[in-house]
Structure 1
């Protein structure tokens, strides 16, 4: 019995030798980066035991904006990244390669 029918349409297309267009590949990379950033914000916030409201107040944002960031629905600007890093008491590290994205908030050493 073949389980090929259980594969996603993308997996089947790739298995058949069909390649993604550059536009689709770029969009997929952008989505991965947005999701990596969203996860990093959520992980650091919960590590600190803060609510979205508390992070929003620290960063001068609304709770709805923090929710959109954690839901990967917002594209942050550089100034927003700086405000979030400050609110989360951390430095922000972003590493981008051709096929991977890594986003991490690194706790600042205690003064």
Structure 2
């Protein structure tokens, strides 16, 4: 588990402490999981490309704090913003949702021949 992921898990546990078991807690857990999956995918692709949060923000028409918040799972972006992020990361974005399972991946575009 990366330092990024450890920090997120700790923060998410703190958020969930104030909510008793039940549908509300399950909904919050799902939202946290989805936000984390997306944030981790953005972080992984950005570091794979070798660019800073500031550079990604510039490419995607965002600010560095917005990128930071996104990578930490603190926000769920709109579809148009996801499209801008995919372009900025020179990748295709895939989001698979199947019941309680989700997978978010950025796949690098192959260079034109």
Q: Secondary structure at the match of 1:74?
A: coil
Q: Can you list the C-alpha shifts for 1:16-52, whole angstroms capped at 9, x where unaligned?
A: xxxx522221221111000000000000000000000
Q: Tell me how many residue pairs correspond in the alignment.
A: 92
Which structure is larger by alpha-carbon Rg, 1 or 2? 1
TM-score (norm 2): 0.77
Match of 2:26 in 1: 25
User: Runs of 5+ in structure 1 lacking a partner?
Assistant: 1-19
User: Runs of 5+ in structure 2 lacking a partner?
Assistant: 1-20
TM-score (norm 1): 0.79
Deviation of the 1:73 alpha carbon: 0.9
Segments ≥4 residues shifted beyond 3 Å: none
Q: Can you list the C-alpha shifts for 1:64-90, whole angstroms capped at 9, x where unaligned?
A: 110110111112011110000000000
d(CA) in 2 for partners of 1:25 and 1:96? 16
